[in-house]
Structure 1
Amino acid sequence: MELKTKNLDIQETQDIVFLNIIDAAKERIDPGEKIIIKKSDYSYSSSAVLTKGLVKQGFIGIPLEKSKHYNHLENEMVEVFPDVNTELAQISKKKIDGKILTKEEITKFVGGIINGNIDSVIISSFLTTTQILGTSTKEIEYLTRAMAETGTMIRFDKGPIMDVHSIGGVPGNKTALLTIPIVASAGLYIPKTSSRAITSPAGTADVVEVISPVDFSPEKLKEIVKTTGGCLAWSGVLNLSPADEKIVEVERRLHIDPEPIILASVLSKKYAMGSEFLLIDIPMGDGTKINSWESARKLASNFTELGSSLGMHVEVAVTYGGQPIGNAVGPALEAREALRALEGKQTGSLTEKAIGLAAILLELGKKVEVGKGKSMARDILESGKALEKFREIIAAQGGQADVKPDEIPLGEFRETILSEDSGYITKVDNSTIVQVAKILGTPFDKGAGLLLNYKVGDRVEKDDVIVELYAESKERLLSAKRFLDYNRIFQTEGMILKRFPGLRVI
């Protein structure tokens, strides 16, 4: 059928257009079904949202960004019809049936994601099946290569190219802001690209974006790395593994992160970046993605094996993830904490973890003998060279190179949480912290988050301020406070866990 375009002033991240419910019924188009929108010179597909009043009969509503992208004029005539391509859906069904996908099938499926020929329902079913049934080693390799090779492949003139990546799962993991400048200060090339947060309160890109742009063209990124030896950039705009960003959108809504997709997501982008030596950080502990040595060893083995098949030397560091790294959780708070650590004004788990990771990279890059990397990394950090290099990188990226930690703005709505007991902290609940941070507005509200004033092993007295909450809206702050009325971040030695009539557990 032929419809007139109506450009809608709607901001929408999902790949959708709007049809009047009567027009949709004529073509038997169901809600969420993929449809083809055909112009005179090209066509594209989107998912249909049906409406009674937003779009009149005889019109198709196009969100503003999509309209600009496809150069739609107001009242432009387009042809609209159902997308009858069922081949891609059958590939997903084959996976649901527990069968092994071929290289050609996986390549077609990834292409369908990129071209918008697969809707979020099919992607969701693929991800859920992968979470439950897993994949073969070859399927992961095919998926990784397809995700990388359908996007931009960046190659640098000099090397070796070092890289480090954390699989996430532990709050406050802003170590890259220290590790990258330490390694770059030693003369190694380490172009760090990362995605935004998926299941955590803040990804590296979310934190760096507080003080610097993170979206660059491949040419600009290569220029930054050539000048400074490193970068702290967002992978999305580089078109590295373009299917990954669409997969991440669905993962975020499903609150899942299947292990095979973790492998393909990480290594497709590192393969596309030309990484030669890659260090994978696997945080392990309660409330993280990995909570046992058995799971850590299995994932580590899969990373090294897959990396080898792609021509990369991959090493894995299993790190402590039983509580947040540092004390700050949330983009602006973490940026402040990282700067303080670079200035030498804050030590602890953040500094020690960053030094440990940098040490391995320095040894892999043959800048120091095996076993002496920690000493070199610590010297670079404590001498101020890492801070100098960090500011150099931020300046090259067009950011606030001279910003002071206290100049980074935080959410204006604040609340303190007091300890209900006295005793030693025996546990910090990562899962509760993540939930609170998201209620407060992270990662999208940069000034939102929480500051932990105590960690495991610390002594706390009743009515001490144990947590500080920050939000950019009063409603979010109140919601987080209500959540904490029934959920604890800390467990203290000697506290009553639960009271039942006739029974006391001390």
Structure 2
Amino acid sequence: MKYSAKILDIADRGVLLNASDARMVGVLEGDRVQIMNHASGLSTPAVVDITTTMIPVGVIGIYGLTNRTLLLVDGTEVEVWEAKKPLALDLIKKKMNHEKLTKDDTRQIIQDIVNDSLSQAELSAYVTACYINGLDMDEVEYLTHAMVESGDRLKFSNHPIVDKHSVGGVPGNKISLLIVPIIAASGLKIPKTSSRAITGAAGTADLMEVLAPVEFSAVEVQQMTEKVGGVIVWGGATNIAPADDKIIVVEYPFKIDARGQMLASVMAKKFAVGADLVVIDIPVGSSTKVPDMAEGRKMAREFIELGERLGIRVECALTYGDSPVGRTIGPNLEVREALAILEGGDEPRSLIQKSLSLAGIALEMSGKAAKGQGYQMAEEILRSGKALRKLRQIIEIQGGDPAVTSESIKPGEFEFVVNAQNTGYIIELNNRALVSLARIAGAPHDHGAGLLLHAKKGEQVNAGDPIFTIYADRDWRLKMAVEEGRRLMPVIVEGMLLDRIPSEYRGQV
């Protein structure tokens, strides 16, 4: 049947049909139609939404992403007929029924994801099936290869290529801003593709964006890495393992990170950038993704096995995750803290020690440092100023200002200081609550929003001493964060009041 196209400014893949036309075509809500632009010869399938009022009979609304394929203008005549369902649907149902996916099964599912052939509901079904039923190591390997094949890849002529990754879960983990320039300053190449924050207060890409643009193609990433030895860019703009970004969008509302998909996600991106050597940071703590050392060792073995299957040498570091790394949470605050260390600062020690430890592992894996000497070599590169000079080169090649200093980066103009109610020791820092406060204050979108911790777990404070300061770029966001802080109590001082019973009930049964 033929219809007149109406282009709709909706950032999705699909079409909108009048209910009468849907009956004529023979489709229901969620079914698919094939749309043909005879003028150009372009054709694509699309999921159907149905309306009784928004689109008149004889007109078909074309969503933005669908029109990227069809290249229609308002009024163009198109032909529409019922389309077959994607092959991936039967394969997703197979996983829902506890069956193992083959290599070809996985490749088909990922291809349909990348081609936007699946609706959000169908993609959610795949993610849920993998989350509930799990993936064995064969399926993880198949998924990793399929993700790599679906996007662009970097191919360097000189090796080794080094990379690092943190599985997340601990706030303030700004170590890439130190590790990448240290590794690159040693003469190694490290094309660091990073993520933006999903549930956290600042992903590595959010931090680097304070200093320079982070959105580049795979070709640009390779060229910049060849020139200066390293980059810190947003992986979502590179078209490297693009299926992963679509899966993450579905995982986000449920705050899930299915183990098999997480392993494949991390290693697909390392494989795609040509990494030979990878250091994985696994923070361990009660409020992280990995609650104890036994679970951390299990995850490390899985990363190492997957690396062996892919031809990548992997070493893992189990790191302390019960407290933020450093004393800052939020883009500007974290970047300022990292830059201060590169400029010669010797605090906070947690950030310095973690960064040097992981950089040292990479230096030893590459042969740049003898076994047991990696930490010392990383420290020498940091203290000599070579790492700072290298970061400035990276900032410059990515289009930022290489003359930036820690003092030039300011936190939000609105602030609120939280003071200790009594004297004692900090006995608990709730990472999730701290991240929640930073996000309510505006992080990561508002670069100036975040938290500065004046005291950390195990440190003594006196009544009236500042415990942490909340910063925000907007006054109303600060007020919201302060209110939420009173409810969450993210920092507990020994002896601090935890609850209060109304006085009129005191002594009553």
Label 1:342 to 1:83 Cα distance change in 2 as closer, same or farther (>3 A): farther
Alignment-derived partner of residue 39 in structure 1: 37
Matched AA of 1:373: G
CA distance in 2, matches of 1:47, 1:376: 56
CA distance in 1, matches of 2:255, 2:400: 32
Label 1:370 to 1:207 Cα distance change in 2 as closer, same or farther (>3 A): same
Once the 2 structures are TM-superposed, how far is the Cα of residue 336 of structure 1 from its aligned partner?
1.7
Alignment-derived partner of residue 224 in structure 1: 224
Conserved? CA contact 2:13–2:63, under 8 Å:
no
Matches within 5 A, 1:336-355: 336-345=336-345, 346-355=347-356
Matches within 5 A, 1:241-320: 241-320=241-320
Once the 2 structures are TM-superposed, how far is the Cα of residue 81 of structure 1 from its aligned partner?
4.5
Conserved? CA contact 1:16–1:46, under 8 Å:
yes
Conserved? CA contact 1:286–1:430, under 8 Å:
no
Alignment-derived partner of residue 434 in structure 2: 433
Label 1:33 to 1:410 Cα distance change in 2 as closer, same or farther (>3 A): farther
Matched AA of 1:428: L
Conserved? CA contact 1:279–1:317, under 8 Å:
yes
Alignment-derived partner of residue 379 in structure 2: 378
Alignment-derived partner of residue 333 in structure 1: 333
CA distance in 2, matches of 1:459, 1:59: 70
Instruction: Could you tell me which runs of 5 or more consecutive residues in structure 2 were left unpaired when the two chains were aligned.
Output: none
Question: Per-residue CA shift, 1:369-409, capped at 9, x if unaligned?
Answer: 11111111111111111111000111111112111223335
Label 1:98 to 1:452 Cα distance change in 2 as closer, same or farther (>3 A): same
Conserved? CA contact 1:332–1:446, under 8 Å:
yes
- Does 1:388 find its partner at 2:389? yes
After superposing the two structures, state which structure 1 stretch, 122-131 or 221-230, moved more: 122-131
CA distance in 2, matches of 1:52, 1:491: 56
Conserved? CA contact 1:34–1:118, under 8 Å:
no
Question: Per-residue CA shift, 1:305-344, capped at 9, x if unaligned?
Answer: 0110001101111111111111221222222222112112
Label 1:26 to 1:453 Cα distance change in 2 as closer, same or farther (>3 A): farther
Alignment-derived partner of residue 214 in structure 1: 214
Once the 2 structures are TM-superposed, how far is the Cα of residue 86 of structure 1 from its aligned partner?
5.0
Question: Per-residue CA shift, 1:342-367, capped at 9, x if unaligned?
Answer: 11234321111111100001111111
SS at match of 1:486: helix
Question: Per-residue CA shift, 1:263-290, capped at 9, x if unaligned?
Answer: 0001011111111011111111121110
- Identity level (%): 41
Label 1:75 to 1:283 Cα distance change in 2 as closer, same or farther (>3 A): same
Once the 2 structures are TM-superposed, how far is the Cα of residue 75 of structure 1 from its aligned partner?
2.0
> Under a length normalisation based on structure 1, what TM-score does the superposition of the two structures give?
0.92
Question: Per-residue CA shift, 1:59-79, capped at 9, x if unaligned?
Answer: 344455664564221222233
SS at match of 1:290: coil
Label 1:322 to 1:158 Cα distance change in 2 as closer, same or farther (>3 A): same
Conserved? CA contact 1:169–1:199, under 8 Å:
no
Conserved? CA contact 2:46–2:66, under 8 Å:
no
Matched AA of 2:258: P
Conserved? CA contact 2:277–2:312, under 8 Å:
yes
Alignment-derived partner of residue 493 in structure 1: 494
Matches within 5 A, 1:423-462: 423-462=424-463
Conserved? CA contact 2:37–2:70, under 8 Å:
no
SS at match of 2:488: coil
Once the 2 structures are TM-superposed, how far is the Cα of residue 27 of structure 1 from its aligned partner?
4.4
SS at match of 1:197: coil
Matches within 5 A, 1:19-98: 19-24=17-22, 26-27=24-25, 29-40=27-38, 41-51=41-51, 54-64=54-64, 67=67, 70-85=70-85, 87-98=87-98
Once the 2 structures are TM-superposed, how far is the Cα of residue 239 of structure 1 from its aligned partner?
1.2
Alignment-derived partner of residue 357 in structure 1: 358
Matched AA of 1:388: R
SS at match of 1:78: strand
Alignment-derived partner of residue 185 in structure 1: 185
Matched AA of 1:73: V
Label 1:474 to 1:374 Cα distance change in 2 as closer, same or farther (>3 A): same
SS at match of 1:371: coil
SS at match of 1:369: coil
After superposing the two structures, state which structure 1 stretch, 489-498 or 135-144, moved more: 489-498
CA distance in 2, matches of 1:131, 1:322: 26
Alignment-derived partner of residue 148 in structure 2: 148
After superposing the two structures, state which structure 1 stretch, 57-66 or 89-98, moved more: 57-66
Once the 2 structures are TM-superposed, how far is the Cα of residue 132 of structure 1 from its aligned partner?
2.3
Conserved? CA contact 1:198–1:251, under 8 Å:
no
SS at match of 2:79: strand
CA distance in 2, matches of 1:6, 1:375: 64
CA distance in 2, matches of 1:36, 1:334: 49
After superposing the two structures, state which structure 1 stretch, 348-357 or 41-50, moved more: 41-50
CA distance in 1, matches of 2:146, 2:466: 50
Once the 2 structures are TM-superposed, how far is the Cα of residue 25 of structure 1 from its aligned partner?
5.3
Alignment-derived partner of residue 116 in structure 1: 116
CA distance in 1, matches of 2:22, 2:324: 50
CA distance in 2, matches of 1:394, 1:170: 26
Alignment-derived partner of residue 168 in structure 2: 168
Label 1:51 to 1:286 Cα distance change in 2 as closer, same or farther (>3 A): farther
Aligned pair count reads 501
- Does 1:400 find its partner at 2:401? yes
CA distance in 1, matches of 2:447, 2:210: 7
Once the 2 structures are TM-superposed, how far is the Cα of residue 260 of structure 1 from its aligned partner?
0.7
Conserved? CA contact 1:45–1:116, under 8 Å:
no
Label 1:385 to 1:71 Cα distance change in 2 as closer, same or farther (>3 A): same
CA distance in 2, matches of 1:24, 1:462: 69
Alignment-derived partner of residue 131 in structure 1: 131
Matched AA of 1:351: I
Label 1:97 to 1:483 Cα distance change in 2 as closer, same or farther (>3 A): same
SS at match of 2:487: coil
Runs of 4+ in 1 over 6 A off after TM superposition: 500-503
Matched AA of 2:275: S
Once the 2 structures are TM-superposed, how far is the Cα of residue 55 of structure 1 from its aligned partner?
4.1
Alignment-derived partner of residue 484 in structure 2: 483
CA distance in 2, matches of 1:114, 1:77: 28
RMSD, aligned CA: 2.3
Conserved? CA contact 1:44–1:116, under 8 Å:
no
Once the 2 structures are TM-superposed, how far is the Cα of residue 35 of structure 1 from its aligned partner?
4.4
After superposing the two structures, state which structure 1 stretch, 141-150 or 427-436, moved more: 427-436
Label 1:185 to 1:84 Cα distance change in 2 as closer, same or farther (>3 A): same
After superposing the two structures, state which structure 1 stretch, 94-103 or 73-82, moved more: 73-82
Alignment-derived partner of residue 472 in structure 2: 471
CA distance in 2, matches of 1:86, 1:9: 25
Computing the radius of gyration over CA atoms, which structure comes out larger, 1 or 2? 2
Once the 2 structures are TM-superposed, how far is the Cα of residue 226 of structure 1 from its aligned partner?
1.4
Instruction: Could you tell me which runs of 5 or more consecutive residues in structure 1 were left unpaired when the two chains were aligned.
Output: none
Label 1:30 to 1:502 Cα distance change in 2 as closer, same or farther (>3 A): farther
Question: Per-residue CA shift, 1:146-170, capped at 9, x if unaligned?
Answer: 1101211211011111111111111
CA distance in 1, matches of 2:162, 2:456: 32
Matched AA of 1:323: S
CA distance in 2, matches of 1:311, 1:201: 34
SS at match of 1:424: strand
After superposing the two structures, state which structure 1 stretch, 141-150 or 199-208, moved more: 199-208
